[in-house]
Structure formats: structure tokens, C-alpha cells
Amino acid sequence: MARKPILLSWSGGKDSAWALHLLRDSPEYEVVGLLTTVNQHFGRVAMHGFREELLDLQGEAAGLPLWKVPLPWPCTNEVYEGLMAEVCTRAVAEGLHGIAFGDLFLEDIRAYRVEKMAGTGLEPIFPCWLIPTDELARSMIAAGIRAHLVCVDPRKLERSFAGRVLDEGLLAELPAAVDPCGERGEFHTFVSAGPMFSRSIDVSAGEIVERDNFVYADLLPASNATHS
């Protein structure tokens, strides 16, 4: 049977990257595009805050088209939901079956997505759901995912973690209250390498800045991607 074509909600971080990795092994689904919200005022991926140019490099490395949703700044929830409804309409018109998300265990987030997709004709899919996050973080590292912490909540994690790469050493240093995958918003990541990419993305560290109560590490794209 033909695999069902779906979009993947793509933050550029490790969880959506791992979702892509799992879905590519799925006999049921085929990811045909990466859906990403972009702050059009700053030219950066919403929430994670990394440069749109790096998002473009991720799309190339994954071999998938990007479905970019430009968000105004500031953006109300009403405007956001209207834009996402337009995406769902387009997806149905193009014959897609559903949208996958990299959510791990937050029931309220999952319930929100299911509610908003009800009646759209699209199936919400959660390939990473309830994988224990300590196990998941170590599986990602062992598989070769290179994830840089690009956004840190300083109320939950020291700002010195911003810009670091997620590895076994970093996991060992996380406070007990911090989820190993940052699922409660403790940190967000940018993936520059992994089994879901045909090549790695060469980045260098830029400024560490504090904005809107978060600490951001600004990754700078190199002129060329390097082969993994």
C-alpha cells in the first residue's frame, strides 16, 4: 500500500528532527514537507529564534520543501490560528493525509492540536509520544544528532547552557527539575546534523542575547554545508 503523504511540524529542534527520523522508517506515512512558523519581522524561526537562513539549510539537508508560515510581530493567538487554518486548507487541497508533531508528553499541547485539527480532514500524528525523555535524549545523541541549545529559559536553567551542544556531559549537568529533552520549555535546540539529514550544517557561535525573558544563542551559518 502507498504511504500516506503528511506534513511534519518543524521547529528545527531535536524533537521534530527525531520525529522525521522515525517517520522515515514508518510503513504508513511519508513526510512530504516541513511546516514552520517564521517571525517575519526578525527573519527567525518562531520560539527557537534561529535565523531563517539556517532553516533553509535544514530543508536542503532533509531533502524536503519548507512550508513557511510568516507570522507578524507581535502575533495574537487569533491571527496565528487563522494562518494555521489556511495551512490546513492548503494541505487538504494538495491531497495530504495529516500533520505530524514532535510532542513528547504534554497532554494540554496534544489536546490543543487535536482540537484545532478536528474537522479539517487531517490526522494529527505524534510519532514521539510518551517515549521516556531520558531514554530519548540518549538515543538522539547515540544516533548522531547534533543539537545546539539556542534558547534557554533562565528561570529554569543557567544562561551558561545557551550555545552548548546537547551531549552526555550536558545531560549530566542538568538540574533534576529540568527535563532531559526540555519538554517543559526549559530549552530549545537547533539541529545541525543527524540521520535525517544528507549532510551536516556548519555553524559557528554568535552573540548570546537576552530578549523577552529568554536567553538566545545566535548561531551563524557558514557559507557552505559540510558533508557528514
pLDDT digits (tens, 9 = 90+) for 191-225: 999 999 999 999 999 999 999 899 999 999 986 44
pLDDT digits (tens, 9 = 90+) for 120-143: 999 999 999 999 999 999 999 999
- The answer to whether the CB of 93 falls within 8 A of the CB of 86 is no
**Across-strand partners of 66?**
34
The residue-averaged pLDDT of 107-132 equals: 97
pLDDT recorded at residue 226: 42
- The answer to whether the CB of 64 falls within 8 A of the CB of 34 is yes
The residue-averaged pLDDT of 95-120 equals: 97
> Side by side, which strands form the sheet with 146-152?
187-193, 146-152, 214-221, 203-211
Closest CA to 55 of 131, 182, 46: 46
How long a stretch of residues is the chain? Answer: 228
pLDDT of residue 228 exceeding 70 = no
CATH assignment of 4-221?
3.40.50.620
Domain spans of the chain, in order of start: 4-221
The sign of the torsion formed by the CA atoms of 52, 56, 62, 63 equals: positive
pLDDT digits (tens, 9 = 90+) for 161-202: 999 999 999 999 999 999 999 999 999 999 999 999 999 999
Side chain identity at 36, as an amino acid letter? T
Closest CA to 100 of 66, 123, 116, 132: 123
